Structure 1
Amino acid sequence: MPKVKYILLDCDNTLVQSERLAFEACAELTNEVLEKHGQSERYTVDSLLEDFVGHNFRNMLIGLQKKHNFTMSQEEVDDYVARELGAVTRKLSQKAVECPGVTTELNKLKEQGYPMSVVSTSAKPRVVASIEKVGIDHFFPPEHVYSAATSLNPPSSKPDPAIYFHACKELGVKPEETLTVEDSKSGATAAKRAGIPLIGYVGIYGIEDSKEKMEQMAKTLTEECGAKAIMYDWKEFQDCLKKIEA
């Protein structure tokens, strides 16, 4: 079997520890929306992560309307999406840090001659702010950063595989000739639906949650999303890559 022709990487909580920071910024806006529409429930960062991890803000607003039975106009949704992007991008460009060991592994891949790209649900300005802040942007030229929220018309969100199909088409590779790394069920489901071999990364749960959550996620990514390998630490990437290439 030929070696993997392209390595596609999720960004949030896979390359960069960004989800919690992003959810801090959007929890305030989410609660503002609920208040405005006469809803009594309020979200904390944790409860928002629990309900919506792996989803972009536009998708979250759709989910909120369904869950709490209210309706927002398209204009209002667009306005909140723009405000959230500004707030999150500012926060990430100040505070984002890489997932442990990412730079070391990306350097190895570059030396080995693997081309790499970012395939994210999040809006492109947010992704670029994250990778610039942690100093890995030189691995990913701007035209190789693909965003379901920005690169597609109409915008989409994982678990819809559209962004993976788009990236593969742009890069001139078949989905099965690539591999990807995902940390969330929605991202991993998108990869599965696109027919892309998947490495599940669960190291972030060890940092943000608990050992139990990490094991639970490893099980979900393997059993439900068909991950070919599970990575607890980026140091294991080369072994996972060999496993997929074999």
Structure 2
Amino acid sequence: MQITEIFFDCDNTLVLSEELAFEACADLANEILEANYISERYTGSQLIIDFVGQNFRGMMMSLQQKFGFEIPADKLEEYVTKEEDKVIAKLEAKAKPCEGASEELEKLFASKKYGLAVVSSSALRRVRASIEKVDQAKYFDHDKVFSAASSLPKPTSKPDPAIYLYALEKVGKTAAETVTIEDSKSGALSAVRAGIPVIAYVGSYVGEEMQKKMAQVLTELGAKVVMWHWSEFEDCLRAIENGTTAEVNSSL
């Protein structure tokens, strides 16, 4: 398999942003629940457990289904914009890169062997704020940052494969020429449904037990190989290209 294009999820794959983002939107989610007479309340940590990998729109859809209420379309758009503003403020103040991610991006960019693109569920403003804050935007052409919330004619969220299919079309590549790095169940499933080989990155999860658990979960969903740290990226990519992923995953 000859890989010529590499897709990257953003949140907690390139940038340690999930905890900041969920912290910022917990208050808003609770405000929405209270306005709809729902007694349940969430902390940022609880939102991560239930909704990691989904964008805010997807989270609101899930909450409406879970608790049986409906947010009018115009009101939902107000909430989406409000959440973006809150999260972006947090990211611009505190976001940091995932350990080793920037170093690998620098190597890949310098090699000129691969096309590089970001494929995220998050709103485009948020993705750009994240990669600009940690000085990673320079590795991606402006038109190669894709958002399921902003780039598609009809906004959606992973695990819907629409954003990956859209990104493939825009970069002019087939799934077989591409690999993606994902850290969440919804993200991995989105890529798998689009036929794209997945490197499961678990280095952003806290604690060895959680990393092992997510490695197993993402592998069962169809990820080809597990990456525990960004320093292992070249080996993971080579394993996919050579079809030797089973040997790498045998250590799980």
TM-score scaled by length of structure 1: 0.96
1:239 alignment partner in structure 2: 235
CA distance in 2 between counterparts of 1:95 and 1:37 reads 32
Task: State the Cα distance separating 1:99 from its structure 2 match.
Answer: 0.1
C-alpha distance after superposition, 1:163-195 (max 9, x if no partner)? 001001000000111000000000000010000
Q: Which 4+ runs in 1 deviate beyond 4 A?
A: none
Task: State the Cα distance separating 1:112 from its structure 2 match.
Answer: 2.1
1:128 alignment partner in structure 2: 128
1:215 alignment partner in structure 2: 212
C-alpha distance after superposition, 1:74-115 (max 9, x if no partner)? 111111001001111111111100000111111111122222
Q: Unaligned stretches of 5+ in structure 2? A: 243-252
Does the residue aligned with 1:203 lie in a helix, a strand or coil? coil
CA distance in 2 between counterparts of 1:25 and 1:128 reads 17
1:61 alignment partner in structure 2: 60
CA distance in 2 between counterparts of 1:127 and 1:34 reads 26
Aligned residue identity for 1:48: L
What is the aligned residue count? 241
Aligned residue identity for 1:240: C
Q: Unaligned stretches of 5+ in structure 1? A: none
2:151 alignment partner in structure 1: 151
CA distance in 2 between counterparts of 1:68 and 1:227 reads 32
2:169 aligned with 1:172, yes or no?
A: no
Task: State the Cα distance separating 1:70 from its structure 2 match.
Answer: 1.4
Task: State the Cα distance separating 1:210 from its structure 2 match.
Answer: 2.3
Shifted more, 85-94 versus 13-22: the winner is 85-94
Does the residue aligned with 1:60 lie in a helix, a strand or coil? helix
Mapped contact 2:23–2:45 kept (Cα < 8 A): no
C-alpha distance after superposition, 1:138-177 (max 9, x if no partner)? 0012210000000001101110000001001000000111
TM-score scaled by length of structure 2: 0.94
